[in-house]
Amino acid sequence: MHSTLIVPCAGRSSRFPNNRPKWSLTHPNGNLMLTESLLGLELNNYKEIIFIFISSDLRKNNLKNGIKEAIKKLNVKYRLVILNKRTKSQSETVAKAIKKLKIKGSILIKDSDGFFKGKASKDDVVYVSTLNEVGRIHASNKSFVDPDTNGFLKTIVEKEVISNYFCCGGYGFSDASDFLKTFNKLTKNISLKGELYISHIIYQQILDGKRFKIKKTSNYKDWGTAEEWQKYTSLYKTIFIDLDGVLVENSGEFVGKLWGTTKSLQNNVEFLNKLYDSNKVKIIITTSRKKSFKKQTINQLKKYNIKYHEIIFDLMHAQRILINDFATSNPFPSAKEVNLPRNSDNLKDYLSENFEK
């Protein structure tokens, strides 16, 4: 499979409150939204990726070098198209790239503000998810398709719910030159009010005899608005959690039960392990235990299968204060505190509300 993957990043990001292009926002794992949006695809099945930017976006946000470094992590062949002026539509953005780079053969146009898992295709396809799978969505931001019993599109419309299937940000065309011809045809011969969407290109090609088929996806994530992005990123956390009296029964170096010898608080451990397994929570154990007790501590964690990413020793046996900045990209409150009675085995009761989204 060797198609060209085209990723337009030339929109105004008008549904986001900050001046930074939404595709350049930082995912909780450190990637950009742009590169994270592509990780559900079989990138090795594309001969190259074409990224399309507006020069003022890169210049204003000092992104030109940073975007190259971010894309390098994908380990793919790529080219950048940098436009001097913002286009009127995504379809115009794609048309300019096809024309400028003389792109031939099949293409996949992928939105940069969403994620899905989907297999590569060289055919005329629309990547879809279903309302049944994702529940509530902003229908006014989506295009919907009505397929026949064989999965071929009868029609595609913007911002109107006509079936259970909506487009989730991937549009495959078997011939880039046909895309360009259809774009030119619509812009010259048809008077459209408002934006010329990719769905208009698809619908015209259906009228001209092409057959588009739905291609089902999984794990769809919508990042198209600030509300959706913040709701998604809020599911990710970093937890700094004390060891003695929280994950294991309290102990000490000189008094009472010694460090490394106490039993686990099993309910707390099970709750924390579930958060660890979600891959959305980074767990850092904090403790006033000395590093000289590291071996006993690690053995105790292994014995009770306490999952964690890092551990910090040698903290003071005193009050701990966490300080973090907040902004539109990491809204207030960006830091929270939980005070748990010593040896209480009900951490879930104190922390669950932070993960119920």
pLDDT in tens, 99-152: 999 999 999 999 999 999 999 889 999 999 998 888 777 777 889 999 999 999
DSSP code string of 160-219: ---SSEEEEEEEEES-HHHHHHHHHHHHHH---SS---HHHHHHHHHHTT---EEEE-EE
Find, among 139, 146, 131, the residue nearest to 212 by Cα. 146
Give the span between the Cα atoms of 340 and 269, in whole angstroms: 14
Is 156 in a helix, a strand, or coil?
strand
**Which CATH number fits the domain 234-355, given the four candidates 3.30.230, 3.30.160, 3.30.70, 3.40.50?**
3.40.50
- Pair type for strands 213-216 and 218-222: unpaired
Domain ranges of the chain: 3-230, 234-355
- Adjacency order of strands within the sheet including 281-286: 237-242, 281-286, 310-312
pTM of full prediction above 0.85: yes
Tokens at 164, concatenated: 């259970």
**Share in percent of the chain as helix, strand, coil (round to 5):** 30, 25, 45
Find, among 195, 165, 135, 182, the residue nearest to 8 by Cα. 195
pLDDT digits (tens, 9 = 90+) for 205-254: 999 999 999 999 999 999 988 888 988 998 899 999 999 999 999 999 99
Alpha carbon of residue 242 to chain centroid: 30
Find, among 344, 339, 342, the residue nearest to 271 by Cα. 344
Which value, to the nearest 10 degrees, does the dihedral of the CA atoms of residues 235, 310, 270, 341 take? -90
pLDDT digits (tens, 9 = 90+) for 238-294: 999 999 999 999 999 999 899 999 999 999 999 999 999 999 999 999 999 999 999
Task: Provide the H-helix boundaries in the chain.
Answer: 33-36, 55-60, 64-72, 90-101, 131-134, 176-189, 198-207, 226-233, 266-277, 294-303, 347-351
Q: What dotted CATH number matches 3-230? A: 3.90.550.10
